[in-house]
């Protein structure tokens, strides 16, 4: 019940295209859903996060879509650039769970010229 399932495992997108990464969860107590970007040999960096009271949040080229009834959320990267090539992790936490993050398995994104 604590799992967060993430897909796809890897993704290749052409420059300028849209990258879409999906996550699904089971634990209905989760109330915070962040996305992290990680470059090789670096720590994860917070990209964008959403709470269940909204269905979409946009920050620059990054958008989270959230479907509470389906227990799914996704990251959309618009106008993907080679510099976006990295590993992306979705995560979820609950206030009652001490804000411990449960991470997805990660998606390795490659943006080709």
Partner 1 sequence: GAVVSQHPSRVICKSGTSVKIECRSLDFQATTMFWYRQFPKQSLMLMATSNEGSKATYEQGVEKDKFLINHASLTLSTLTVTSAHPEDSSFYICSASPLAGGNTDTQYFGPGTRLTVL
Binding residues (CB under 8 A) for partner 1: these are 32, 34, 36, 41-46, 49, 89, 93, 95, 98-101, 103-106, 108
- C-beta of 31 vs 72, nearer to partner 1: 31
For the chain, the helix, strand and coil percentages under 3-state DSSP, each to the nearest 5: 5, 55, 40
CA distance linking residue 9 with residue 104, whole number of Å? 10
Q: Are strands 10-14 and 107-112 parallel, antiparallel or unpaired?
A: parallel
- In the bound complex, what is the minimum distance in angstroms from residue 13's beta carbon to partner 1? 19
Rounded to a whole number of angstroms, the minimum distance from the CB of residue 105 to partner 1 is 5
Nearer to partner 1, 42 or 58 (CB): 42
Which H helix or E strand runs over 77? strand 72-77
Nearer to partner 1, 17 or 49 (CB): 49
Q: Rounded to whole angstroms, how far apart are CA atoms 22 and 27?
A: 16
Of 17 and 27, nearer to partner 1 (C-beta) is 27
Closest distance of CB 16 from partner 1, Å: 27
């Amino acid at each position: 019940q604590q799992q967060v399932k993430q897909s796809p495992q890897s993704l290749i997108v052409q420059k300028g295209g849209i990258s879409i990464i999906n996550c699904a969860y089971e634990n209905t107590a989760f109330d915070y859903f962040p996305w992290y970007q990680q470059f090789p040999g670096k720590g994860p960096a917070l990209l964008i996060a959403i709470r269940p009271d909204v269905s979409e949040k946009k920050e620059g080229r990054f958008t989270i879509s959230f479907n509470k009834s389906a227990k799914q959320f996704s990251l959309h990267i618009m106008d993907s650039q080679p510099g976006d090539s990295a590993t992306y992790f979705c995560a979820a936490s609950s206030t009652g769970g001490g804000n411990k993050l449960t991470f997805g398995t990660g998606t390795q994104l490659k943006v080709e010229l």
